[in-house]
């Protein structure tokens, strides 16, 4: 089960960053009245859904789009208003899709690409959401069908898509392509040295992109430890240090405090990994960063306003979990924090302007859910 973890690997437009910085210091009344490190109920989405995309918009609201339940694929998209604690339906997508990738563009629109469509058809199509008009419009299609790919906003405002796979994921892709929001067209760029799906892509402070892990063939289930760097200036890839552990369906976050990349958990050959690592862009090397209290994959990872990193939910070797833990970059240690009210995987998570983290939807041990919760750090 894959997660859309876009909030960890894209650079938000200045308007959203300003909202986050202002509100991190000025907690909302509801957040301030709650106990730190705990979860509280939030309004439920209109529909149950899992394997969807969740994106913070420039106005501080959250867009949720795509997903599926029992083979039912969703056209309907929803928007969460943190001030009113309410979900409202918004424009329907042109194509229903599960497992899409979604990224907030510099112009405030949201690009959604790929994923599975009806009858398990993998999609090459992409579309744009306009939050001002609450409408969706078609844009250029990718050169190949893709799911379980990565999608990153580059410093120049263009979008880099890497890897993924096609129907049944018999083989992963090494190819990559660039979306230009000005023309609405995609162009092929340099290919990675390793085919991979279920990898992570992280925009580094120097404008380059780190892609790490993934799996060349999902039927085998064996991840890779290799990593490589994309240079937008040349459109080429170069090898960098390999992780200490092979992993797929892990998470990655660029730490604001030191510019390193924290990778946590993931799966490999049926195991849920407890290991975590730090990538140093200056040396191109990885160091181990302690172990998770609970090994997990298909979880969420979100950087909090104080620089700590929250990891929650996901799959373990014994099933889904509701546990959560935090990484302190200053001490390099993990510690337990409050648990969610329900175990979930394949769900969405977004850091709100208030400094709280919204988690919503996903698969739960008995079925699927539309429930939402707020983490107050």
Angle at 133 between CA 129 and CA 139, to 5 degrees: 35
Query: Residue 149 and residue 146: Cα distance in Å, rounded?
Result: 6
- Contact in structure between 341 and 298 (CB atoms under 8 Å): no
pLDDT along the chain (377 residues), means of 10: 35 45 43 67 96 97 94 90 98 95 98 92 97 98 97 98 92 96 98 97 98 85 93 98 97 97 95 98 97 98 98 97 98 97 98 98 96 97
Q: 156: buried, middle or exposed (CB in 10 Å: 19+, 13-18, 0-12)?
A: exposed
Threshold 0.85, pTM exceeds: yes
Ordered DSSP codes for 131-148: TTTTEEEEEPPPSS--BS
Distance CA 337, CA 353 (A): 21
């Amino acid at each position: 089960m894959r997660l859309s973890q876009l909030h960890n690997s894209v650079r938000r437009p200045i308007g959203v960053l300003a909202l986050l910085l202002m509100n991190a210091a000025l907690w909302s009344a509801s957040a301030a009245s709650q106990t730190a490190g705990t979860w509280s109920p939030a309004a439920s989405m209109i529909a149950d859904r899992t394997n969807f995309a969740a994106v913070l918009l420039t106005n501080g609201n959250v867009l949720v789009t795509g997903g599926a339940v029992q083979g039912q694929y969703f056209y309907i998209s929803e928007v969460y208003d943190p001030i009113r604690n309410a979900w409202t339906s918004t424009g329907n997508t042109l194509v229903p899709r599960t497992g899409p990738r979604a990224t907030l563009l510099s112009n405030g629109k949201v690009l959604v690409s790929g994923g599975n469509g009806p009858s398990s058809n993998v999609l090459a199509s992409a579309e744009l959401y306009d939050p001002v008009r609450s409408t969706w419009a078609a844009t250029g299609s990718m050169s190949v069908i893709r799911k379980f790919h990565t999608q990153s906003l580059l410093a120049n405002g263009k979008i880099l898509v890497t890897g993924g796979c096609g129907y049944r994921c018999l083989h992963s892709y090494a190819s990559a392509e660039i979306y230009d929001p000005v023309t609405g067209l995609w162009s092929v760029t340099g290919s990675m040295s390793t085919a991979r799906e279920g990898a992570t892509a992280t925009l580094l402070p120097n404008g380059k992109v780190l892609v790490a892990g993934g799996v060349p063939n999902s039927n085998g289930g064996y991840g890779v430890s290799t990593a490589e760097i994309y240079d937008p200036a040349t459109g080429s890839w170069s090898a960098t240090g390999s992780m200490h552990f092979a992993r797929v369906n892990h998470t990655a976050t660029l730490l604001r405090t030191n510019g390193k990349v924290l990778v946590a958990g993931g799966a490999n050959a049926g195991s849920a990994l407890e290991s975590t690592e730090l990538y140093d862009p200056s040396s191109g090397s990885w160091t181990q960063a302690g172990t998770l209290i609970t090994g997990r994959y298909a979880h969420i990872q979100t950087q909090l306003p104080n620089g700590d990193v929250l990891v929650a939910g996901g799959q373990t070797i014994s099933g889904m979990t509701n546990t959560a833990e935090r990484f302190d970059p200053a001490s390099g240690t993990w510690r337990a924090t409050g648990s969610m009210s329900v175990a979930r995987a394949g769900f969405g998570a977004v850091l709100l302007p208030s400094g709280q983290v919204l988690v919503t939807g996903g698969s739960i041990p008995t079925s699927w859910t539309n429930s939402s919760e707020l983490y107050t750090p």
